[in-house]
Amino acid sequence: MQEKIEQVKETIVEEASSILDYTFIFSKEISITVKGLLFILIALIVASLILKFVRRLITRKLPANDKQKFVAMFGYIRWFVFLIIFLAGMHTAGVNVTAVFAASAALLIGVGLALQTLFQDIISGIFILVDQSVHVGDIIELEGKVGRVLDIRLRTTRAVTIDNKVLVIPNHLYLTNILFNWTENGTETRESVNVGVAYGSDVELVKKTLLEQAKKHEKILKIPEPTVLFSDFADSSLNFKLVFSLNNSFETRFVQSDLRFAIDKAFRENNISIPFPQRDVHLFQKK
C-alpha cells in the first residue's frame, strides 16, 4: 500500500514537473516555459504589493494636496518599475530579450506610430507634474471648456465642469494649446459684467447704481472692493464694466446673472435706459 502511495506521489510530481517545464516556442531563439511565466507573474504581484506598501508608508503623514500629487507621480514610477521587472523576469526565465526586440522591430515601429499620441499624453503628464503648471483642485480653461481638476492620470486628466459633467482631457493638449489656470494665484478671481446705457445718461448715477448692486450681493467679496470702468463711447451706447471679485470661480455665471437682473431693475427705478442698436436708412429714388 505504501509503495502505491509513493508511486502516485512520484507520478503527480512528474506530471507537475512536465507541466511546469512545458515550453512555448515562438521561434528558434524565442521560447519560454510555464515555470518562467509563473515566475514573472509572481514577481509582478510581489512588486505590486511592495509598491503599494511603500506608497502608503510615504503618504500617511503627507497633507492632502501633497498626497494627491505624490500618488499621481507614483503611478508613473509604478509602471516603469513593472516594465523593468517584466524584462528582467523574461531574461531570468531564459528568454532572449534582445532576440524578442529584434524579431518584433517592424511590429514595434508600426505600434509606435499608431501609439504616437499615447506616448505624447504620457510624456505630457510627466511634464505637468514636474513643472507644476496644473494641480489637483485647480480650475482650468482649455479650448473654451472650464473644469475643476479631479486627478491627473498616466494618459489623461479628469476635470468636472460647472454643470457637473466630467471632462476627460488627453494630456498632450496641455502642450499644444493655451491653458488658462484660473486658480494659479489662489482661489480668488476677478470677474465682470458689461452694460451699455443711452447717451445723455447721468454717468455718475450709473456708476453709483452698479456699485450698489455689486455690494448687495452676498457672494461678491468686499475686499478688494467692486469698481466700475467707463470702457467706451460706442455707436449707440456708453459702455461700462462692473468689476468684482469672487472666491469661487465656479459660481461666476450665476453671480453675473443675478447682477444683470438686479441692474435691469435698478436702471428702471432710476430711469436709466439701456439702448438697442439703431440705424438710419435713407432711400433714394432714381429720376
- At 199 the three-state DSSP class reads coil
Closest CA to 214 of 200, 204, 224: 224
- Across 53-64, average pLDDT: 76
Q: Which helix (H) or strand (E) holds 48?
A: helix 34-59
pLDDT mean across residues, the chain: 78
Backbone angles phi, psi at 274, to 5 degrees: -100, 110
Question: Model confidence at 214, in pLDDT bands (50, 70, 90)?
Answer: very high
State yes or no: pLDDT of 213 exceeds 70: yes
Question: Model confidence at 22, in pLDDT bands (50, 70, 90)?
Answer: low
- Across 189-206, average pLDDT: 92
133-181 topology per CATH: SH3 type barrels. (2.30.30)
Quote the pLDDT of residue 44.
82
- DSSP code at position 251: G
Whole-structure pTM value: 0.55
Residue 236 burial (CB count, 10 A):
13
pLDDT digits (tens, 9 = 90+) for 223-271: 889 999 999 998 889 999 999 999 887 888 899 999 999 999 999 999 9
Q: How far apart are CA 54 and CA 62, in angstroms?
A: 13
Q: How far apart are CA 42 and CA 213, in angstroms?
A: 67
Residue 55 burial (CB count, 10 A):
17
Q: How far apart are CA 168 and CA 149, in angstroms?
A: 10
Q: How far apart are CA 74 and CA 265, in angstroms?
A: 55
Return the C-alpha cell found at 53.
Answer: 506598501
Closest CA to 132 of 65, 60, 61: 65
More confident site: 115 or 201:
201
Question: Model confidence at 205, in pLDDT bands (50, 70, 90)?
Answer: very high
| Domain positions in the chain | 9-103, 133-181, 189-269
More confident site: 110 or 180:
180
The CATH architecture one would assign to domain 189-269 is 2-Layer Sandwich (3.30)
Residue 30, phi-psi category: left (phi > 0), alpha (psi -120 to 50), beta (remainder): beta
Question: Model confidence at 274, in pLDDT bands (50, 70, 90)?
Answer: confident
Contact 134, 72 (CB under 8 A): no
Return the C-alpha cell found at 114.
Answer: 499608431
Q: Bridge-partner residues for 195, per DSSP?
A: 240
Return the C-alpha cell found at 146.
Answer: 472650464
Contact 164, 127 (CB under 8 A): no
